[in-house]
Chain A
Amino acid sequence: MKKLVRNPILVFFSLFQPIIFLLLFTQLFSGLGRFLGAGILSYTAFATAGIVLQNAFSSAFQSGTAVVDDIKSGFLSKMLATPVNRSAILFGRLLSDVFRVVVQTVIILVLAYALGVYPATGAIGYLLVIFTVAFFGLAWSGISLALGLKTKSAETVFGIAGAVTFPLLFMSTALVTADFMPPWMQDVSTYNPVSIAVNAIRNPITGCNVAQRVCNIGFDWNTILQAYGVIAAIGLVTLGATLYLFRKVVS
């Protein structure tokens, strides 16, 4: 945490992209608001969930490059030569990543508030959003950590991150509704974990179930619980792989 505060430039730039996205996309696609049902939901409110998730997504990929840096700089070795618990080293890394995502999410939500996006489900809804994002970030960090531990190359992690992030993000309901997509992409989007997660974040922010075009429904627990199931499944696989690879690096 001290590191983040001491590195304001890093914090600024890691927020730069989501802020730009929030400002640009909401302008670029503002016409899409029509499709959401006139007067019910602004595109800005719709897109906030997508931007929050996109930020968590790209932020999670930084964990992988950080762990590569730890290995290459000798910092990991130095920690391993101390009595610190092995798994604590890994979980410390994950926790700090989650913390960063949470801070970024709060900033995005505050900015969205300034743009007129008010939480339909109140403060509790936003706490749920932050919790969901943290949970998603944790599961997704597992992928980048596993890649970092396996390849020990920051470039590879970045490359794969880019190749994975954009298709998954754009073939999801992060920035547009499903009926805006060609049919084949709708199918992809339905099973895209990003869509599933973004729907669970969007519901508390908007109070809507956008796919069914209904609003003012409060918490849509079906959507939310489905997302938690999917995220947990992903997390189990990715963090399991991370743990396995970490043990291999450590011994």
Chain B
Amino acid sequence: MPGIIDVSQLVKTYGDGTKAVKGITFSVNEGEFFGFLGPNGAGKSTTIKILTTLLQKTSGFASVAGLNVDSDAAKIRKIIGVQNQDTVVDEDLTGRENLVLQGQLQQMHGPAIKERVDDLLKIVDLVDAADKRAGFYSGGMKKRLDLATTLVHNPKILFLDEPTTGLDPQSRAAIWAYLKRLNEQGITIFITTQYLEEVDRLCRRLAIVDLGEIVAQGTPGDLKQEIGADSISLGFENSSLNGGDVRTKARQVLEKKFDGVSNIVDSDIGLTVYAKNGSYMVPELVRAFDEAQIRLSTIGVSSPTLDDVFLKHTGKRIRVEEVSSANMRGMFGRRRR
């Protein structure tokens, strides 16, 4: 049975020769909450732009609600809601006016818009601020307003590119709560984000992309089970030991003495070791490192998380970027003239 989003062998090569997407295939079922994860530059935004008809693909096939992204672009635009990475609200207009404008852009008319706008203001808790200019809104309020503008025309599918990046935890939680409710009402949600706990909690399925290719996909549970091991994160006091790299030394110790280790990956503070029954290994580990004169600063054991899944498949920890002031400007909307 075809999904509501079907992508097969999708390729996008930009004019300058950059291969942003190198033949990805996946499918999203109707009503699903689908996470699309990957490090920066992995091809997430490019894929979203192709699916939302903002960018032409180079080759392959992509359809949204059974409509071809090339030939039925106009029809697709009527049934999708799109939220970009940037918050786009018109700061000179009030929250209500922003929503009405978007309704008009979506070719809705008169009383239908008014009714819908009133509903949306309730949904995103902006009733009290509805008639204040968006320029006076906080970052979280602008983001909520921006989300509401994507919903004006009752879209069947919502595409969200990093909808909560740069928000404080409270606003983030609020946005995710709205998304959960929307999904329960039957809207399919396709989301890219860097917040894995939320993905774990809310996404039915997810795909991890890296360097333009899908490296893993499945339910959060399956992906975590695939790792099949606890992760032990080790931090070292010094980065070098007797002139050699401490990570190399530690790897040698681990490989020589521990059979249960299934994988060892470099991390920011030292190493992450994957092993069955990791917690039982800890005393032995400490002893072995002590003998090898490797000093540990931290040691921690955890059952597999999506972060581990991500690390295993991309070699990177997903990291929520520092929000620099330059980014903030873009994120929280700019004045338009």
Chain A interface residues (CB < 8 Å from chain B): 2-3, 6-7, 10, 62, 65-66, 69-70, 72-75, 77-84, 251
Contacts of B86 in A (CB 8 A): 73-74
How many CB-defined contacts (below 8 Å) exist between A and B?
70
Q: Given A83-B77, A83-B78, is A77 in contact with B92 using a C-beta cutoff of 8 Å?
A: no
Q: Given A77-B84, A78-B84, A81-B54, is A3 in contact with B77 using a C-beta cutoff of 8 Å?
A: no
A2 adjacent to B93 (CB under 8 Å) = yes
Cα separation A84 to B86 with both chains bound (whole Å): 20
Flag whether B53 is at the interface (Cβ < 8 A): yes
* B88 CB contact (under 8 Å) in A2, A6, A65, A74: A74
A73 adjacent to B336 (CB under 8 Å) = yes
Instruction: Give the total of B residues in contact with A, Cβ under 8 Å.
Output: 31
Contacts of A79 in B (CB 8 A): 105
Flag whether B200 is at the interface (Cβ < 8 A): no
List, sorted by A's number, 25 A–B pairs whose CB atoms are closer than 8 Å: A2-B92, A2-B97, A3-B90, A3-B92, A6-B92, A6-B93, A6-B133, A7-B92, A7-B337, A62-B337, A66-B336, A66-B337, A73-B336, A74-B84, A74-B87, A75-B88, A75-B90, A75-B336, A77-B88, A78-B84, A79-B105, A80-B53, A80-B54, A81-B54, A84-B107
Binary CB contact string for chain B from 258 to 289 against chain A (1 if under 8 A, 0 otherwise)? 00000000000000000000000000000000
Contacts of A3 in B (CB 8 A): 90, 92-93, 336-337
Cα separation A83 to B337 with both chains bound (whole Å): 23
Flag whether B217 is at the interface (Cβ < 8 A): no
B105 adjacent to A82 (CB under 8 Å) = yes
Cα separation A78 to B150 with both chains bound (whole Å): 9
CB distance from B175 to the nearest CB of A (A): 17
A78 adjacent to B88 (CB under 8 Å) = yes
Contacts of A70 in B (CB 8 A): 336
Flag whether B173 is at the interface (Cβ < 8 A): no
Contacts of A80 in B (CB 8 A): 53-54
Contacts of B92 in A (CB 8 A): 2-3, 6-7
Contacts of B106 in A (CB 8 A): 82-83
Contacts of A6 in B (CB 8 A): 92-93, 133
Contacts of B221 in A (CB 8 A): none
| Sample of 11 further A-B pairs with CB below 8 A, known A77-B54, A77-B84, A82-B77 | A6-B133, A62-B337, A66-B336, A69-B334, A72-B330, A73-B333, A75-B336, A77-B82, A78-B82, A82-B105, A83-B106
Flag whether B74 is at the interface (Cβ < 8 A): yes
Contacts of A82 in B (CB 8 A): 77, 102, 105-106
* A69 CB contact (under 8 Å) in B52, B87, B133, B337: B337
CB distance from B101 to the nearest CB of A (A): 10
B56 adjacent to A251 (CB under 8 Å) = yes
Cα separation A79 to B84 with both chains bound (whole Å): 11
Cα separation A74 to B327 with both chains bound (whole Å): 13
Contacts of B105 in A (CB 8 A): 79, 82, 84
Cα separation A65 to B337 with both chains bound (whole Å): 9
Flag whether B208 is at the interface (Cβ < 8 A): no
CB-nearest residue of chain B to A10: B337
Contacts of A10 in B (CB 8 A): 337
Contacts of A73 in B (CB 8 A): 86, 88, 330, 333-334, 336
Which residues of chain B (88-114) have a CB below 8 Å from chain A? 88, 90, 92-93, 97, 102, 105-107
CB distance from B120 to the nearest CB of A (A): 16
Contacts of B55 in A (CB 8 A): 251
Contacts of A69 in B (CB 8 A): 334, 336-337
Binary CB contact string for chain B from 148 to 175 against chain A (1 if under 8 A, 0 otherwise)? 0100000000000000000000000000
Flag whether B80 is at the interface (Cβ < 8 A): yes
B74 adjacent to A83 (CB under 8 Å) = yes
Which residues of chain B (205-220) have a CB below 8 Å from chain A? none
- Closest A-B pairs by Cβ, 3 of them: A74-B86, A81-B82, A73-B334
